[in-house]
Amino acid sequence: MTDRDPAKPDRLAALVDSVVGRAPINKRPLLLADQLEEQFLQGGWPEGLSLGAEQAMANRYGVGRDVLREVVRLLEARNHARMRRGPNGGLEVVRPDLEDLTARLAGYAYVSRLDRNQVVDAWIALQAAALRHLDAASAAECLRSLRGATLRVLGDGLISAADSALLTILARMVGDLLPPLRDETVDIADAALADSESILDWMRQEWAGATAQVDAGRAEPDFVPPLAPHASCFQHHAMLLVHKLMTTISPDAWARGELIGNEFDLADQFGVDKSVVRQAIRLMEDAETATALPGRGRGLMTRLPSTAPLSRLLCAYLIAHRVESADGERVFEALRIESAGLASDRASLEDRATLLAMGDDLDQLCAPLPVAALQAFERLQQHAAYNRLLGLFIDGVKAFLTWRGEAWPLASDLIVETYRTHTKRVVAAICAGDRMGARGAEAAKLEALRKTRDAQLTW
């Protein structure tokens, strides 16, 4: 662990929650699981650290064994810890793996009916980020060497050439969600290699044509229920119960919000103990796929999950795998720039009115203030891009950078003024439908904020 100010982890945790858009929670198992996870994050993810046996942990944190078991299931489901049995056993910190994270994303895609077009747009945004890692000559050389390849191979090649660990991780996550294109090769003309914008325009056109062909002959839904993970901890009754519920209830039911049943109903229906049902409920609350409504005649209600739980998992994965902050900053900036461009294309009249109206709120900001206060403006702008997958990546990477940062999360007078001035320019370009202007204004905003932060060390 570190010697940082003991108050800082709490402030960072609050900032991370504001970044990913996570609502406050007040149930003891969820709070304790988050507290332990935040200790892992603050300590740089101490893989192999043993937190002790169940009874010892229950005594240490002043909770009963039932609550502690719910905490253990939560951390195991997040793939952040495992309970080792035996005389030398205990809850041990583990390093999350990408396969598990990708499976969680597949489950989110199924339950939320994620739009395939959003997946393609996120994939192209990753290619844009890769191009920002490369100079024009290197990018052209890479693409020339891949002439005659498929669209998927072309994208993978660009990601590989960018030599970014973070882009490789995100590409793996998106890759499993891409539509199954035919194995047709493509050829990129020299004219399309003139600059990054020409390359991206060519990619958008090729992907639009390829996915249109797939859509024309597809009768199956975009995403199917993912398989249950094979890890031993996922054979526990509570996790199996969650998987049964998630795969047997249609995505429409999750969007509508339907009553699944109370603890007694579910225990009787699935032939398990009420304690198992209670653990399953906590797992679904943690994933934001259900809400437990107290009171007679109520019970577990389905809900459409936000991207917040997955964003936090991505943040933890990046910390645990020692991704470099510099890599994270480059990718974050590139994805924010692409998001601003998408917002200029897709913002509705209502979105534009909301964005323009927030100028008055920006004028009311007074420093010093927590950086978390600026997240509401960021989320409004991000929402106008209408791409949940890209938003998930932006939030997860920004949360990662927040935990890795050394500065107090406070904004000075100069930072607030810089943020206000540049955000208004970005909004003006988005509302004018000016894609290039929005991307340029976002790039200038991020550059100005970075310089101000580096100079004052308060961002």
Is pLDDT above 80 for 65?
yes
Distance CA 122, CA 116 (A): 10
Is pLDDT of 433 > 90? yes
Spatial contact of 107 and 223, defined as CB atoms under 8 Å apart: no
Query: In whole angstroms, how far apart are CA 443 and each of 63, 132, 317, 339?
Result: 48, 12, 27, 11
Q: For residue 187, what pLDDT is reported? A: 85
Confidence of residue 221 (pLDDT cuts 50, 70, 90): low
Q: Give me the pLDDT at residue 215, please.
A: 66
State the pLDDT at residue 235.
Answer: 72
* pLDDT above 90 coverage of the chain, percent: 58
pLDDT band at 8 (very low <50, low <70, confident <90, very high): low
Asked if residue 458 has pLDDT above 50, the reply is: no
pLDDT of 255 higher than 80:
yes
135: which 2 tokens?
Answer: 């100079």
| Mean of per-residue pLDDT scores for the chain | 88
Record the pTM. 0.92
Q: What percent of the chain has pLDDT over 70?
A: 93
Helix axes 136-145, 151-162, angle to 10 degrees: 140
pLDDT of the residue at 119: 93
Q: Residue 47: pLDDT above 90?
A: yes
User: Which amino acid makes up residue 219?
Assistant: A
Residue 408 has pLDDT above 60, yes or no: no
pLDDT of residue 9: 59
CB 237 within 8 A of CB 228: no
The confidence score (pLDDT) of residue 4 equals 43
Q: What is the largest CA-CA distance in the chain?
A: 69
Q: What is the 3-state secondary structure (H, E, C) of 182-212?
A: CCCECCCCHHHHCCHHHHHHHHHHHHHHHHH
Residue keyed to tokens 């399309």:
192
399 — phi, psi (to 5°)?
Answer: -60, -40
The answer on pLDDT for 117 being more than 80 is yes
| Residue 84, beta-bridge partner list | 90
> Is pLDDT at 338 greater than 90 in this prediction?
yes
Position 61 confidence tier, pLDDT thresholds 50, 70, 90: very high
Cα–Cα separations (whole angstroms), residue 380 to 293, 331, 392, 422? 29, 21, 14, 15
Nearest alpha carbon to residue 298 among 264, 329, 256, 273: 264
Cα 393 from Cα 317, distance rounded (Å): 12
The mean per-residue pLDDT over the stretch 243-261 comes to: 87
